[in-house]
């Protein structure tokens, strides 16, 4: 028996999560705004968003917490990564705040990131998302 294709996939969840994250940053009114972690799941033909505890295991390592779920699942969360940049005196290490969109469906994993720009006294700005490899 052939099943009809699902109307929503991991890519669809990613677009919903990215739109949500962008709108949260657009609505930020002060420089202290921080994106709280959320999980996005399909429920019939709709997407459900659930907040998750920032200190919890799921927020810290969502892919490990999910294992191999039977349906697509995705997380939007804030993190800080350490980057290296070349300089005349050698590599410079610095921290950068990012917004991660992480998802899993069957054997597929999706990872997209956007950098957060903070200027003292102004709300933070979220840059464009790009696929992490």
Nearest to 72 by CA among 17, 10, 5: 10
Q: Distance between CA atoms of 103 and 94, rounded to whole angstroms?
A: 27
pLDDT of residue 43: 87
- pLDDT score recorded for residue 4: 47
Question: Is the pLDDT score of 5 beyond 50?
Answer: no
pLDDT in tens, 75-88: 999 999 999 999 99
Per-residue confidence (pLDDT) for residue 133, from 0 to 100 = 56
C-alpha separations of 12 from 52, 74, 80, 129 in Å: 21, 10, 26, 15
Boundaries of every domain in the chain? 10-131
What pLDDT shows up at residue 70? Answer: 80
Q: What was the pLDDT predicted at 67? A: 77
How do residues 111-124 score in pLDDT, each as one tens digit?
A: 999 999 999 889 99
**Percent of residues, the chain, with pLDDT higher than 70:** 93
**55 phi and psi, to 5 degrees?**
-90, -5
Average pLDDT estimate for 42-63: 90
| pLDDT 10s digits, 87-118 | 999 999 989 999 999 999 888 889 999 999 99
């Amino acid at each position: 028996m052939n099943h009809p294709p699902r109307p929503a996939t991991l890519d669809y969840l990613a677009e919903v999560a990215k739109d949500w994250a962008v709108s949260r940053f657009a609505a930020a009114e002060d420089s202290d705004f921080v994106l709280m972690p959320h999980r996005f799941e399909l429920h019939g033909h709709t997407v459900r968003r659930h907040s998750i505890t920032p200190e919890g295991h799921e927020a810290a390592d969502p892919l490990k917490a999910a294992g191999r779920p039977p349906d697509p699942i995705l997380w939007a969360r804030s993190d800080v990564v350490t980057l290296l940049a070349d300089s005349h005196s050698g590599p410079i290490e610095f921290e950068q705040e990012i917004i991660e969109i992480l998802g899993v469906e069957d054997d597929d994993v999706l990872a997209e990131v956007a950098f957060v720009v903070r200027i003292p006294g102004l709300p933070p700005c979220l840059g464009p998302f790009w696929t992490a490899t």
